[in-house]
Amino acid sequence: MKNVLKIIMALSLATMLTSCGISFGVESRRSSNWSSGSSSNSAREEVNLSEDISDVNKISMRIDVSDLNVIYHDGSNVEITGELSSYSRGIDVNKSGSTFEIVEETKKSTNLGSNNYSELLIKIPRSFNGDLKLDFGVGTFNVSDLVLNNVEVEAGVGNVSLDGISFNSLDLESGVGSVSLVTKEKTGDIYISGGVGEVDVELGNINGNLKFEGGVGSADFKVPVDAPISINSKSGLGDANIKAKTSNEGKYTFDLEVGLGNVTVRN
């Protein structure tokens, strides 16, 4: 099976997280950016940043440890508000050519828990419809109601929700935790690589192919009745349950590779 090595690695990661604590999930992805000390200060710092992105066609976010919400607003700047944990190194913003970068880095600590997460709200101008890259470490991440070009998501440890978004292409690599994707309008090509946790996908207007490589956990795909898709499935250590009513058009292809867990496609 094509994904056997990936599943073994995911299981190993889940076991190590259980035995070593949540700090492993961050350290494995951010080791070069962490200090060897930890902080016992419980003070939190408020964040209130506003940056012009009038010439930007790509936004890149790299967030270490935070509960994050990303939404549209009617302003002309990117606005970043919230509170930083005492374990956070702070937020850096940088504009390089047509790319705008937002980086939140966190100090290494063996005492890191959910009450030590930063809490951030990032508002993007409604006029922005370019590319979005999201690199998450640890936390809960919610992205809502954005209309974008190409979207790239790399998830770490925690739940990821992409709700009501539209895009021309989506590349999503899930980590450890659940993933939820809900689209209402146009969606292009979708690639989802399963990690450890459940994957729930609800698609509105389908305008592209989908490829899913299962990891560890079940996956549920809801598609419109008579969707113009043909579905191909390849079983692994789980089963594929295809019960959706689709059209005979087969304009787009759904390739589903089952990992360790069942995959369901329904209306």
- Pairing, β 199-202 against β 229-234: unpaired
Distances 102 to 86, 109, 134 between C-alpha atoms, Å: 19, 22, 10
With 90 as the cut, is the pLDDT of residue 47 above it? yes
pLDDT of residue 19: 45
* pLDDT, tens only, 94-140: 999 999 999 999 887 655 555 678 999 999 999 999 999 999 999 99
Task: Indicate whether this model's pTM tops 0.75.
Answer: yes
Domain annotation covers residue 91? no
Name the one residue in this structure whose structure tokens are 């209402």: 184
Calculate mean pLDDT across residues 224-235: 92
Spatial contact of 172 and 155, defined as CB atoms under 8 Å apart: yes
Taking each continuous run of H as one helix and of E as one strand, the counts in the chain are 2, 21
Nearest CA among 152, 195, 146 for reference residue 170 = 152
Domain annotation covers residue 217? yes
pLDDT of residue 116: 74
pLDDT of residue 87: 85
SS3 content of the chain, % helix, strand, coil (to 5): 10, 50, 35
With 60 as the cut, is the pLDDT of residue 56 above it? yes
Distance of alpha carbon 141 from alpha carbon 161, whole angstroms: 6
pLDDT of residue 42: 60
Distances 246 to 166, 212, 229 between C-alpha atoms, Å: 22, 18, 6
* pLDDT, tens only, 182-199: 998 878 999 999 899 999
State the residue range of the domain holding 259. 1-22+157-267
Domain annotation covers residue 256? yes
How many other C-beta atoms lie within 10 A of the C-beta of residue 99? 16
Domain annotation covers residue 73? no
Domain annotation covers residue 249? yes
Q: Mean pLDDT in the chain? A: 85
What band does 12 get if pLDDT is binned at 50, 70 and 90? low
Number of domains observed in the structure of the chain: 1
